[in-house]
Amino acid sequence: MAEKAANGVFFCEVCTARYAGAGDCAACDGEPLLDLRNADVVEMIRSFDEQRWKKRLGQFTGLAAVIVIPTVVVFNLLMGAATGKVLGLIPNMVLAGFGVSAFSGGLIAVMPPKKRLPAMLP
């Protein structure tokens, strides 16, 4: 079992613990430690971070659509009832698109996925 070290060269991608020596993570069952001196390994961890970011943005975009699109529909109904006119399809799509991207962008700014790649590399 490897010894933990704050700025160790070996890294567990699951729990982000760092170790001085190679081996498996003591906390994560059978998880092999990655050598942070290897540029390919660092690139792989970076790409995992990116995938987690994209996955979360996708989830937030879905959530934003569920909230924003009905809001746009209700807005149209109210406007139609009040003025007898409704927005055309294109303005509605632009409005919904802006709403969804603003909403999901706001969510990911407040709740980004945790980055696992250490800021301080050996």
Binding site for Zn ion (CB under 5 A): 12, 14-15, 25, 27-28
Rounded Cα distance between 117 and 97, Å, is: 32
Rg (CA), the chain: 23
Helix axis angle, 89-110 to 39-83, nearest 10°: 140
Q: How far is the CB of 87 from Zn ion (least distance, A)?
A: 52
87 CB-contact burial (10 Å; exposed 0-12 / middle 13-18 / buried 19+):
middle
For the CB of residue 26, give the shortest distance to Zn ion in the complex, in Å: 7
Least Å distance, CB 59 to Zn ion, is 25
* Eight-state DSSP code of residue 19: E
28 or 107, CB closer to Zn ion? 28
Q: Do the beta carbons of residue 7 and residue 120 sit within 8 Å? A: yes
Nearer to Zn ion, 27 or 121 (CB): 27
Minimal distance, residue 4 CB to Zn ion, in Å: 10
Residue closer to Zn ion (CB basis): 24 or 107: 24
Cβ-based nearer residue to Zn ion, 27 or 73? 27
